[in-house]
Amino acid sequence: MTTDLPEDRFRLPPLPILVLIIACVGIEIVLRLGDAGLWGIPRFRALVYEFGGFWPGLLANWQPNFPFQSSTMFLTYGFLHAGFWHLALNMVTLWSLARIVIERVGNLKFLSVYALSILGGGAGYALLAETYRPMVGASGALFGLAGAILAWDYVDRFILKEGLWPVARAALLLIALNVALYFAMGGRLAWEAHLGGFVAGWLAALLLDPRGRS
């Protein structure tokens, strides 16, 4: 019996994507079990956020819960999420964008872009946020992947002397998305992390693969 389905249709995604998704989903499962009183202690989720979320006050005069928390939070916040829908949206986006980056530069450089984007998202929130409200979520890293993809598209189009409007249009769509979500969420969108991640991803892309595709 034959089939016309592509041979790689059911092939698993690259290992880094699986690891990142399993890590984020696994953490959220543990937190939801804690919410249901089946794991940990009362207010387990709040405690995890307290130790792993991004708290701007720790960069001022707040007392950390453990040594170097003001440094580790620049990474740990990217693996925590504010519930199922927040997690689901980010994981679907990760699945989509990460494959494009890996096809371009491979697994190791993808992880470099992702890590630098998480750090850039934290830096953006630290520099621009006018609140002490904590921040969690992988969206800073995801905007970094989008920034990397657009940076490479810009370089390719510039070298091939193609129009740059598609890059500008995509950037404008990302801005519009942030504006819409900002108002829809009552101002609770961490756009500062999105901007920081985007800039970090763009710069990381140009450092890791600066040559255009001819």
Q: Which of 81, 77, 83 lies closest to 126, judged by CA?
A: 77
Q: CA Rg, the chain, in Å?
A: 19
Q: Is the pLDDT of residue 4 over 70?
A: no
Which band of pLDDT confidence, cut at 50, 70 and 90, is reported for residue 111? very high
Alpha helix (H) ranges present in the chain? 15-35, 44-52, 69-76, 84-128, 139-159, 165-184, 191-208
Q: Which of 147, 149, 121 lies closest to 53, judged by CA?
A: 121
CA atoms of 123 and 115, how far apart (whole Å)? 12
Structure tokens at 84: 């199922």
CA atoms of 174 and 172, how far apart (whole Å)? 5
Q: Which of 147, 165, 169 lies closest to 157, judged by CA?
A: 165
CB 144 within 8 A of CB 201: yes
CB 148 within 8 A of CB 204: yes
Name the superfamily (CATH) of residues 15-208.
Answer: Rhomboid-like (1.20.1540.10)
Mean pLDDT of 36-54: 88
CA atoms of 198 and 118, how far apart (whole Å)? 10
CA atoms of 165 and 168, how far apart (whole Å)? 5
| SS3 state of residue 91 | helix
Tens of pLDDT, residues 58-91: 999 899 999 999 999 999 999 999 999 999 999 9
CA atoms of 174 and 177, how far apart (whole Å)? 5
Tens of pLDDT, residues 132-166: 999 999 999 999 999 999 999 999 999 988 999 99
